[in-house]
Amino acid sequence: MQKVTCIAPVNIAVIKYWGKSDEDLVLPLNDSLSGTLSTDFMCAKTTISTSPALEVNKFWLNGIEQSFENERLLNCLKEVKRRANQTLPHLNWNISICSENNFPTAAGLASSAAGYACLVSALAALYEIEGDISAIARRGSGSACRSVYGGWVQWCKGASPTGEDSIAKQIAPASHWPQMRVLILVVNDERKKYSSTSGMKRSVETSELLQYRATKIVPQRIEAITKAIINKDFQAFAQITMEDSNQFHAVCLDTFPPCVYMNDTSHAIVDVVHAYNDFKKSNKVAYTFDAGPNACLYLLDSEVEEVLSVIDYVFPPVVNSEGYLKGIPLSKKAITEELKAVFEAKRQNFGALKYVIHTRIGDGPKTLTNP
Ligand code: DP6
C-alpha cells in the first residue's frame, strides 16, 4: 500500500487565458499570467492510495464518487505514467483518488485549477516524477498549469505542436511582493453559467476580437505587467489588470451567442473600484473577473481596511457581520464621512455579496507528511 496527500493553490489570472489552438492538448492561443493564492484559506487537497488489492480505479470529488472515464483525468494519468520511475512495483496497481476543496465549488472559484494541480502533484509524488509537471497539469485544465508554482506565474503558450513547451514558469516568488493582498468578493448568484471550456470554444469559433487580442494585445501586456511586478509598480499593475479583465469580457460579449459572465453586482463593483481610485487620484485597487460574477480585487495591505469599509457600506452586510469576512483577520474600520459622501448614491441592496475572502499571494503545491 502506498499513499500520498497533497494540497495545491488557486490562482487568479491578471492576463487571461481564453481560447485554445488545440482542444485535446490544451494549447492556448496566448500567454497568460497569474498570482497564486495562499493555501491557508483556499486550497484543493488530494489523497491518492494504491495497493495490489484494489480491483478498480476510484475517484471521489468532495465526497461524491465520480466516473473514472474522464478524458482529462485519463490524459493526466497517462502522461504521469509515461514520465514515471518505471522500476516502481506499484506503477501498474489501481489507484483511489480522493479530492476535496476547502472552499465552496458553487462559488466557482477556480476550483478546477487547484484540483488538477493537486491531482498531478500527488500523482507526481506517488510515481517519483522529476522536473516540471505544469505541462501535465495543463492537460487537466489549462489554468491548472499555473497553480503548479507559487508567486507570480506565466503560462508560456509555446511553439511546439506537441505542447512540450507550453509550460508555466515562475516570474517572481510570493516573497517578492509581500504587501500584495487579494479580496475575493463572492457575489450572490446561484445561476449556472456555461463552463470556461465551452465558452472559450465558442469564442474561438466566432469572435474576431479574440484573434486580435491574442496576437496584438496580450504579448505587449505580458511584457508590461511582468515589468510592473518585478518593479512592484502597483499603478501599472492595476491598470493592465483591469484593462485585461475588461477586454476578456468584451471578447465574451463579442462571442456569438454571447457569454455573459458578469452580472449587475459585478458591474457595480467595477464602478466602486473606479470611484475609489478617482477619489484617491491613483490606482489603489484593481478588479479582475473570471468566467463568473465574482470579483477578485488586488490591492496593497495599506489599503485593505479602507477598501473594506467602502465595500461594507456599498454592499452590506460584509465586514460588520459574523462570518462574512473570511481569511486573514483584520480590525474593522468605519467608513469616513468623506468616503460616505462619494459612495452614498451607489449603495446596493442587502445581500448582493455573499461574503469576502481576504488572502495573499502564496506558495505552490505541497506534499503533506502528516495529513
Ligand atoms: C477565465 O482553465 O478553466 O479563468 O482549459 O478548458 O479547463 P480549460 O479552461 P480553464 O479556463 C480558465 C479561464 C479563465 C482565465 C484564466 O484563468 O486565465
pLDDT digits (tens, 9 = 90+) for 278-289: 999 999 999 999
Question: In this structure, what DSSP letter does residue 43 have?
Answer: E
pTM above 0.80, yes or no: yes
Model confidence over 188-233: pLDDT tens digits? 766 667 889 999 999 999 999 999 999 999 999 999 999 999 999 9
Q: Which of 17, 112, 244, 287 to mutate to test the pocket of ligand 1 (most atoms within 8 A of CB)?
A: 17
Whole-number Å distance, alpha carbon 61 to ligand 1 midpoint, is 19
> CA-CA distance, 172 to 170, in Å (whole number)?
6
- Compute the distance between CA of residue 8 and CA of residue 247 in angstroms, rounded to an integer: 29
Mutate to test the pocket of ligand 1, among 33, 143, 225 (most ligand atoms within 8 A of CB): 143
Question: DSSP code of 294?
Answer: -
The whole-number pLDDT of residue 192 equals: 61
**Prediction ipTM score:** 0.99
Q: 155 near 167, Cβ under 8 Å?
A: yes
Residue range 79-95: mean pLDDT, rounded: 95
Ligand 1 binding site (Cβ under 6 Å of any ligand atom): 13, 16-18, 26, 32, 112, 141-143, 196-197, 290-291
Residue minimizing CA distance to atom 3 of ligand 1: 196
Distance (Å) from CA 135 to ligand 1 centroid: 15
Please tell me the total number of residues recorded for the chain in this structure: 371
* pLDDT for 172: 98
3-state secondary structure of 201: helix
Lowest mean pLDDT segment, chosen from 145-149, 246-250, 348-352:
348-352
Residues in Cβ contact with 135 at an 8 Å cutoff, skipping those fewer than 6 apart: 79, 145, 163, 164, 166, 167
Q: Is residue 212 helix, strand or coil?
A: helix
Is residue 263 scored above 60 in pLDDT?
A: yes
Nearest protein CA to atom 11 of ligand 1, as residue: 196
- Cα–Cα distance for residue pair 249/16, rounded to 1 Å: 10
User: pLDDT grade, residue 126 (50/70/90)?
Assistant: very high
Residue 56 banded pLDDT, cuts 50, 70, 90: very high
Radius of gyration of the chain (CA): 21
272 alpha-carbon distance from chain centroid: 23
Determine contact, residues 279/342, Cβ cutoff 8 Å: yes
